[in-house]
Structure 1
């Protein structure tokens, strides 16, 4: 019977979607079950994020391989003493807690495609003398909050096309298109207005298509995939007619965000507005779009958004990655099973014996932020924009605020006893007015009032809990 009967790594969900973003702290545990007393050399856990692309091409009789790799972070934490290779563990279940702060840097969201992937995962490794290393892995979904200057994308987009008809028709067509903005959230509606002047002899049908382009880069070569996400067809326009076509195209609620901050994988969206004309080239206007999280897209009215697991894309491929899904199926059933990519794994099995909860060296676990359900507990990192913004960054602020308890009421001082003047002037006193007011509404500003001592006001103190976790040493 092997000494190691169970070895796994798991993490604690930070929100209902089970996603993580820049600056979040991912916590979890490594569970090790032993059937007998065992000597262990090293036991550690790592958190890392990597992007990889890979494909092959045939040119004649030769096959060429293209691959690229980009590492975004790698953190390592020892669960047994690092300087000791003779650690004796007793029989039973051992649970080791760990904690990693995700770097506050611009990193792309989790992704899987036909020729590449962006994966964030936890990896635990157990080393023993004269034995093969035991490893356990668990992927987690990372959703990037890094965006360009979002306020520069809030202005309407305008485009136009003018086309002379060909051999099978006469006249020309003019189309002016306006889109309400350039950044949208998943589940939001794109408002499109097209003014069409059909000065030809043919019918034409306005069509509106949201497209997604994915480009993979490796060693100077590229692979490209394109998909139609949504399509709306308007009513045909008769010849010699001028008409306005309006379209409300809704983005799917589970559509993944744009990937604009990865050097080897890029996912972009375009809106294609064109006129379908029989036996003629279709005039079209293309608009670049950015799809972001509902929390980050300004003016989004979609409400709480769903999770954004890694997208699977279709098409035949000779890459080494698992076969993708059929085009058009955003999240196939194979990706929605517990433990599959982008979804939380099933809970660990329960054991009859009481596990021994252990921890690494003291002082390595930073204080944890409170759980945020349906939201994110860290601001988005500021991504430099080549164009700048007149409004400044929407995610940063130079001021901070905190809730304080109301201060106690100020001390009440008795009014000073002011002696009446020896002979007040008759022009300042009424004959019926008393010589002095026993309960003045304010202290009399005389010598006795100014000479009294001023007490030091009470001091207040406030404990500010810092949520900045300590950095773990990456080795």
Structure 2
């Protein structure tokens, strides 16, 4: 039975909703309990962001993948001899800066997902590795061009009805704005001129369109998030129909900057006319996260998988901030501290966190030591540069 218990990755959520964005610094720790002193080859932490899409069409299966970044840091570095970790709770602190490049928000759907993740791994000689994962809820600061949508949006259509019921129908529709957040309510107004001999009903829909891509192939799904039916409009009459359309609280923000997945929205206003093609007006809608202001999206550069594998030792110099490099950083601001493991208190917080404006951690480490154990949790007091760091983009369809 493995002596490694309760392996977990924890971090401080700097935002109330527990999300992070590009450029944010994550301060956290890898925590585990040992039932005895254990020799380990290394303890590593990997951060990565991946998008994937998968669907079937008959006997054909389509799979696509896009990697936005992958970074690996050794919290206990590899040495010629194994490192002995003491019995009890061991805590290894880390800091990680999310790359400052254009990346899509976290997403999970039936045909694909975009996931950002921490993966902790304890390697031992001639033993199975112990692993744990912790998801990062990522919200992109990038938004599609929205300047033209901030103002009221409108559209109109005219249709001539032929056959037994002749006449003409004119429909115009307006929404008070084309950009909103989940939970907001939009005002939709439709003006109908029914110069025909038929009855008709105005209808309003909020339509979500999701597209999954694999090379030249696409899989498109539609979902109706809101629908309302107005009163009957009789022949040879004019009427104005209005609708208060609330965006669902759980609506997924518009996803535009992923290479293999996109989510878009339209408000559809149309007239239901029996035995006739329905005239309709389609108005685009952009849904943005509540706390994110639109900014100009950056550039995302893709690489092949082979190119990505050869870039494992690429530094972050091209995308990093001069004040704090992208990727994993030391938990200590004292350059005189050695790169080793020392005993300490699990409630102690890295010195580097205070210099970056982080307060006392909001999480607590439960007391999970074995009865009678006196060993204190261990943590990394100071660290050298990562043995291996990388950031890259690649697509593997």
Interval of TM-score (by shorter of Structure 1 and Structure 2)? 0.7 to 0.9
* Partners of 1:232 and 1:11 in 2: CA distance: 44
Q: Which residue of 1 aligns with 2:325?
A: none
Q: Which residue of 1 aligns with 2:331?
A: none
In structure 2, list runs of 5 or more residues that go unmatched: 295-362, 392-397
The 5 Å alignment of 1:424-443 reads: none
Q: Which residue of 2 aligns with 1:120?
A: 116
The answer to whether 1:359 aligns with 2:355 is no
- Measured at CA, do residues 168 and 57 of structure 1 come closer, stay the same or move farther in structure 2, by a change above 3 Å? same
> Offset at 1:186?
1.4
- Measured at CA, do residues 271 and 347 of structure 1 come closer, stay the same or move farther in structure 2, by a change above 3 Å? farther
Q: Is the 8 A contact 2:146 2:286 kept in 1?
A: no
Q: Which residue of 2 aligns with 1:229?
A: 225
Alignment root-mean-square deviation, CA: 2.3
SS in 2 for 1:152: helix
Q: Which residue of 2 aligns with 1:350?
A: 367
* Partners of 2:13 and 2:221 in 1: CA distance: 33
Q: Deviations over 1:215-262 (max 9, x none)?
A: 100132111111011122222211100122222211122322110000
* Partners of 1:361 and 1:72 in 2: CA distance: 29
Q: Which residue of 2 aligns with 1:256?
A: 252
* Partners of 1:19 and 1:217 in 2: CA distance: 27
- Measured at CA, do residues 96 and 297 of structure 1 come closer, stay the same or move farther in structure 2, by a change above 3 Å? closer
More strand by share: 2
- Measured at CA, do residues 213 and 350 of structure 1 come closer, stay the same or move farther in structure 2, by a change above 3 Å? farther
The answer to whether 1:269 aligns with 2:269 is no
TM-score, length basis structure 1: 0.63
* Partners of 2:267 and 2:63 in 1: CA distance: 31
> Offset at 1:105?
1.6
Q: Which residue of 1 aligns with 2:31?
A: 31
The 5 Å alignment of 1:377-392 reads: none
- Measured at CA, do residues 95 and 151 of structure 1 come closer, stay the same or move farther in structure 2, by a change above 3 Å? same
> Offset at 1:348?
6.3
Q: Which residue of 2 aligns with 1:474?
A: 390
Q: Which residue of 2 aligns with 1:100?
A: 96
SS in 2 for 1:158: strand
Q: Which residue of 1 aligns with 2:236?
A: 240
Q: Which residue of 2 aligns with 1:73?
A: 69
TM-score, length basis structure 2: 0.75
- Measured at CA, do residues 348 and 120 of structure 1 come closer, stay the same or move farther in structure 2, by a change above 3 Å? farther
In structure 1, list runs of 5 or more residues that go unmatched: 299-345, 366-471
Q: Point out the structure with max Rg over C-alpha.
A: 1
- Measured at CA, do residues 224 and 84 of structure 1 come closer, stay the same or move farther in structure 2, by a change above 3 Å? farther
Q: Which residue of 1 aligns with 2:8?
A: 8
The answer to whether 1:162 aligns with 2:155 is no
Larger RCO (CA within 8 A; separation ≥ 6): 2
Q: Which residue of 1 aligns with 2:394?
A: none
> Offset at 1:197?
0.5
Q: Is the 8 A contact 1:258 1:268 kept in 2?
A: yes
Aligned length: 318
> Offset at 1:84?
4.8
SS in 2 for 1:19: coil
* Partners of 2:282 and 2:105 in 1: CA distance: 25
Q: Is the 8 A contact 2:266 2:284 kept in 1?
A: yes
SS in 1 for 2:147: helix
Q: Which residue of 2 aligns with 1:139?
A: 135
